[in-house]
Amino acid sequence: MTQPPTLAVDARGLTIAWGRTPVVHDVSFDVRAGEVVALLGESGSGKTTILRALAGLHRIAAGTLSIGAQTVDAPGSRTWAPPEKRSVGVVFQDYALFPHLSVAKNIAYGAADRSEVDTLLGRVGLDGYGPRKVTELSGGEQQRVAVARVLAQRPRVVLLDEPFSNLNRSLRQQLRDDTVGVIRATGAAAVLVTHDPEEALACADRVAILRDGRLLQLDTPEHVYRQPSCVAAAHATGDAFVVPVDADGRSALGPLQTTGDGGFAVIRPEQIMLSTEGNGVVASVTRSAFVGPVVQVTIEIGDQTVRALHTGSFAAGSVVHARVDGTCHRVEAPC
Amino acid sequence: MANRRDTSWVGTLLAALLALLCVVPLVLLVVRGAVDGLGPFRTVLAAESTGAALTKSLLLGTLSGVVAVAVALPAAWFSQVTDMPGARVFRVLLVLPLAVPSYVSGFVVMAAFAHNGWLHGLLRPFGFEDAPDVYSLWGVVLALTWAYPLALLQIQAALSRTDPAMWGAARTLGAGPWRAFADVVLPALRAPMATGGLLVGLYAIGDFGAVSLLRFESLSYLVYLRHKSLFARAEVVPLSLLLAVVALVLVVIVLVVGGRTARGARTLDVHRAWPTIELGRWRWVAFAFCATLVLVFVGLPLGVVGYWLTRGLRLGAELRMPWDDAAHSAILGGVSALILVVAAIGPALAHRFGRVGGARALRTLTFVGYALPGIVVALSMVSFVVRWVEPLYQTFGLLVIAYVIRFTPLALGTLEDGLQRVGTGLMDAARTLGASRARATLTVILPSAAPAIGAAALGVFIAVVKELPAALILGPLEYDTLSTRIWTLTEDAFYALAAVPIFMMLGVALIGLIAGRRLSR
């Protein structure tokens, strides 16, 4: 018999309040050792509050929170570990580098082993930056220093609070891949807080979708995208259209292949196939918008307006045939 | 942010003690007044001189405020957002008059514009026999116009918080520059103009240096005369309380107007740079305006002091370097700065990184302390000490206590402003990196706050060196400071002898002002 993998984070029934206002309601999730979990949600969804609770910067009002084998916050049993007694590291949104310390001293601040500083600088691609002032670095370089500073503490869990949102688009993807790669290489688990669905889907092993302080769904990127638990979860991961569908799969967009239960089907734009002739329901084009790799075509089918992705554009007013490709997931109407 | 549910009780206690310290003068006056009974109050209320002095104080405050805003508004606009030649340099130069204490500006008004003064000497050959009387309302208002940077700083800050896009929007909607200024800029500046004017008014009403030198019997001078007189000393407490009440009413108005600024103005968190507004031919008019301000309020003091110095030397006056006075000033300043920074750093950190119970009430108390005129603080201590702790009267210790009370709001305010630039995220980062609260404070917060601490210490030091009424009234006998020396010599019209200590004073104050601005950046 093999041991079940240990949990890096185990959160049971977290309720967190700001003052007397609860902002996170009864949220449970876990993060396995070495796993990257993204907390995805709009601002106000409670994702950053959860991260602050994990870090020990905010106490939970109810529930149990464990990091590894250590119970760090459990109001019920009056257990609480301050941030410095938890095996967590945080990459803050504004990096929070210490302005009066050099790059090397920033990294050494919480380091388990100070002789590793140079190695870590090399690992984040900042060889020779040790003596520099952090205030002289670019945003991307500061972000790398923040990552190195966290890795130096050898935490069991790395918490990332929108660490890429202050960076240029061109820089973001590269840095994102590098950062997640470096963290994975250390074997630490990571919790990534983000409002960007693409970032969450691309980086994480599992994605937790939060809305209004509640956990809507926690699953692999593919599952949360293709099999959303509800309408709101579907919208959280990207463009989606929800159409009524009957028990036999008939809908306004023609017959659908469906999985799951519920009277509505979630259709993604890339599933809608357009053609000038042939099969499919008749639709009229209201607008074609060239967005680079593809053309976003807005069509009307009955009183439904949906956007499809297509390789070419259609003149506004022209008539096309639309059909839905692949499988659609069924959901209940409200969430 | 620290955990919002935690109120730091130690921080709250320290902050409360410090805030209460600010209102000690009021308590002392009330206690002494209660013990003395109603007699002195009746005398003061019945005296004609009281009403006259109150009128003069209010007139002085109003006129000074209006003049200062009239000077500061164009100066702020020209130097902040236009292509006036040298705008960047003027942004610094225009603030420098703040370094000139009112007894020095009073000296300048007397030595430059009075009968037999510098200007009179220049004009006499052309048949000007009578110089206008500077021992008058207008003379004092002129001397207090040196405080216009108080208004300028308010307006500058408001300008940089105002969204410049509004200007662009108005212009592209067809408004000319004058209309755009009147329609979108002026409304955004109305509250800071009011606050700035009120601050100058407060400064004028509480002023002792200029009114005493120019013999203008406003409340703050009258109360000093009563203190000096043998027979009317009992009137000091009621008059001080009256002056304090006038100042407090002004503070309440400042707080209300300030609150309205915070709520009403469409301000930005992010600093957005204003476009440079081209003045065309007007740029030289703007330049002339600002250059005149600098010439009058910075150049003139230096020039007049130099004039009296060389004139004195030519007439054979003996130059005496006031090293003793300077040393006394420096020791007082240093000791007060040290005590205040140590006392204020805890509460300032608690305000920034923790949660302080009743923070708003404490802030209001501090602001009350800021508003109390120096002469009121000094006389409140005298009235209490001579009655109950006589041996403390005119000791070094009492003077330091007075300075600590008087400048607590300054130290606390400067520290809190400086700490605003230390991100609260730093505390969180240090904690998650394994530092305890104490270690995080020592290794991250305090070093990052070094500029703020330096600015606060420097600010208190300069304020103490410049301070006059407490040094004059509470200081040990034969313990002259630069400020009391300047005042005594000027009052006795030894202008040539006053010149050297004034040079020293201006040197210290100007360097302090510039260094302080650098630290706060």
Distance from CA of B4 to the nearest CA of A (A): 7
What is the per-residue pLDDT for A19? 80
What is the per-residue pLDDT for B472? 95
Please name which of A76, A30, A24 lies closest in space to residue A53, comparing C-alpha atoms.
A24
Partners of B491 in the beta sheet? none
CA distance B280 to A23: 56
Does residue B450 belong to the interface with chain A, where contact is any CB pair within 8 Å? Answer: yes
Does residue B355 belong to the interface with chain A, where contact is any CB pair within 8 Å? Answer: no
pLDDT tens digits for A215-268? 999 999 999 999 999 999 999 999 999 999 999 988 888 889 999 999 999 999
What is the per-residue pLDDT for B219? 96
Which residues does chain B have within 8 Å of residue A58's beta carbon, measured at their own beta carbons?
3-4
What is the per-residue pLDDT for B261? 59
Segment B340-344 long-range contacts (CB within 8 Å, at least 24 positions apart): B340/B404, B340/B407, B340/B408, B340/B411, B340/B456, B340/B457, B340/B460, B341/B411, B341/B415, B341/B453, B341/B456, B341/B457, B341/B460, B343/B18, B343/B404, B343/B408, B343/B411, B344/B18, B344/B408, B344/B411, B344/B412, B344/B415, B344/B456
CA distance B225 to B227: 5
For chain B, what are the domain ranges?
1-37+321-521
What is the per-residue pLDDT for B262? 55
Which residues does chain B have within 8 Å of residue A90's beta carbon, measured at their own beta carbons?
428-429, 432
Contact B433 A89 (CB under 8 A): yes
What is the per-residue pLDDT for B1? 38
Does residue B125 belong to the interface with chain A, where contact is any CB pair within 8 Å? Answer: no
Contact B429 A98 (CB under 8 A): yes
Contact A64, A70 (CB under 8 A): no
Does residue B448 belong to the interface with chain A, where contact is any CB pair within 8 Å? Answer: yes
Out of B1, B2, B448, whose CB is closest to A99? B448
Backbone angles phi, psi at A159, to 5 degrees: -105, 130
What is the per-residue pLDDT for A335? 54
Per the confidence metrics, is the pTM higher than 0.90?
A: no
> What residue in B sits closest to A93 (Cα-Cα)?
B425
Per-residue tokens: A228: 């959303």
> What residue in A sits closest to B3 (Cα-Cα)?
A58
Which residues does chain B have within 8 Å of residue A83's beta carbon, measured at their own beta carbons?
428, 431-432
- Per-residue burial over B278-316, b if 16 or more Cβ lie within 10 Å, else e, is ebeeebeebbebbbebbebbbebbeebbebbbeebeeee
What is the per-residue pLDDT for B12? 86
> What residue in A sits closest to B2 (Cα-Cα)?
A57
**Residues in chain A, pLDDT under 50:** 1
**Residues in chain B, pLDDT under 70:** 1-7, 259-273
CA distance B16 to B366: 10
Name residues whose C-beta falls within 8 Å of residue B477's C-beta, 6 or more positions apart in sequence: B394
Strands A62-67 and A7-18: antiparallel
Domain topology for B1-37+321-521 = MetI-like fold (1.10.3720)
Contact A92 B1 (CB under 8 A): no
Partners of A304 in the beta sheet? A301
Task: Work out how many CB contacts closer than 8 A connect A with B.
Answer: 74
**DSSP string covering B151-196:** HHHHHHHHHHHB-THHHHHHHHTT--HHHHIIIIIHHHHHHHHHHH
What is the per-residue pLDDT for A331? 93
Contact A96 B447 (CB under 8 A): no
Query: What ipTM was reported for this prediction?
Result: 0.77
Best interface-test mutation with B: which of A90, A93, A154 has the largest number of B CBs within 10 A?
A: A90
Calculated CA dihedral for residues A246, A251, A255, A260, nearest 10 degrees: -50
pLDDT tens digits for A59-69? 999 999 999 99
Out of B426, B435, B448, whose CB is closest to A84? B435
What is the per-residue pLDDT for B4? 43
